[in-house]
Amino acid sequence: MLAEKGYLVRVVTRSGRSPEPGIEHVALDATDSRQLIEASQGAAAIYGCAAPPYHRWAAEWPPLASSLCAAAEATGAVLVMLGNLYGYGPVDGPLTEDLPLVATGPKGRVRAAVWEQARDLHEQGRIRAVEVRASDFFGPGVTDGGHLAARVMPRLLRGKPVSALGDPDAPHSWTYLPDVAGALVEVAGEERAWGRAWHVPTAPALSARQMVDRLAAQAGTGPVAVRRLSPAVLGIASVFSPLIRELKEIRYQFDRPFVVDSSAYEAEFAVRATSVDEQVKATVDWWRDRS
């Protein structure tokens, strides 16, 4: 999106990649603040969209966040953080940005601390920072995570049953990846957005079963059975999978309603949630092309 708007973009990852029109790829470890500062020279904005492997959040998030803040302070670039909703912890009712960050689990606490560090530096006048928070996201290009990605889509396209974490009938907010990108791009240029967190515009909540039904109908493979993963199966899987083991902390997000309120963003800025029909079609088309 940034390249299409005419910006020069530099993407920093550990492995790098071949250049694309308007986009340079640089290989470095972003926890190395010296290298990151050097790569960020002349930037108008730094987008913090990286994350450590799930089971290493507690150890690896703090140095990554500190490096991002150091780069923002050294260069004067606006720091735009991509966040999530773990920091709130379990909540009764819709999630809004004014809720306290009172998570008790280690991943929720560290994710809250990442934003609080950037916000405190913003309030001290040392950096300019904003955070954009998304729910579980899906869409073209999303392969990791598994809620509506690699664990679901290939089976759904073959008409095979899929498994759901938690209650498959609990209302759940799903944030569409292009809407995440649109919000990140927009807030970087809006000074009135800085200094606080915003929820990405997100379509009305639908259960995992409802989303699978829509995706399968679009794919022409429905109806597809949606089965709840039993605690016993999760317990066995967690012995072998660090990812499954770590999901225990955020099971509450799938065992009961988990609904995002993005009205504050929508009252101030232009990005709106893409229609669910368009989300579903683009996602199915992408997975079909990939397979």
Query: CA-to-CA distance for 95 and 133, rounded, in angstroms?
Result: 11
Residue 1 counted as domain residue = no
DSSP string for residues in 197-216: EEEPP-PPP--HHHHHHHHH
Please give the biggest Cα pair distance in the chain: 55
pTM of whole model > 0.75? yes
| Residue that has been written with the tokens 């803040």 in this structure | 69
Query: CA-to-CA distance for 39 and 17, rounded, in angstroms?
Result: 15
Q: Per residue in 52-103, pLDDT tens? A: 988 899 999 999 999 999 999 999 999 999 999 999 999 999 999 999 999 9
Number of domains comprising the chain:
1
Residue 249 counted as domain residue = yes
Average pLDDT of every residue of the chain: 94
Residue 110 counted as domain residue = yes
Percent of the chain with pLDDT over 90: 84
Distances (CA, A) of 122 to 78, 116, 117, 140, 188: 10, 10, 9, 33, 14
For residue 239, give every residue at least 6 positions away whose Cβ sits within 8 Å of its Cβ, in sequence order, or none: 245
Residue 175 counted as domain residue = yes
Structure token digits, residue 278: 């368009």
Query: CA-to-CA distance for 92 and 96, rounded, in angstroms?
Result: 11
Residue 26 counted as domain residue = no
Confidence at residue 49, expressed as pLDDT on a 0 to 100 scale: 96
Residue 2 counted as domain residue = no
Q: Per residue in 181-211, pLDDT tens? A: 999 999 999 999 999 999 999 999 999 999 9
Residue 193 counted as domain residue = yes
Q: What is the CATH number of the domain that holds 180?
A: 3.40.50.720
Q: Per residue in 89-139, pLDDT tens? A: 999 999 999 999 999 999 999 999 999 999 999 999 999 999 999 999 999
Residue 10 counted as domain residue = no
Q: Which domain holds residue 99?
A: 31-290
The residue-averaged pLDDT of 277-287 equals 97
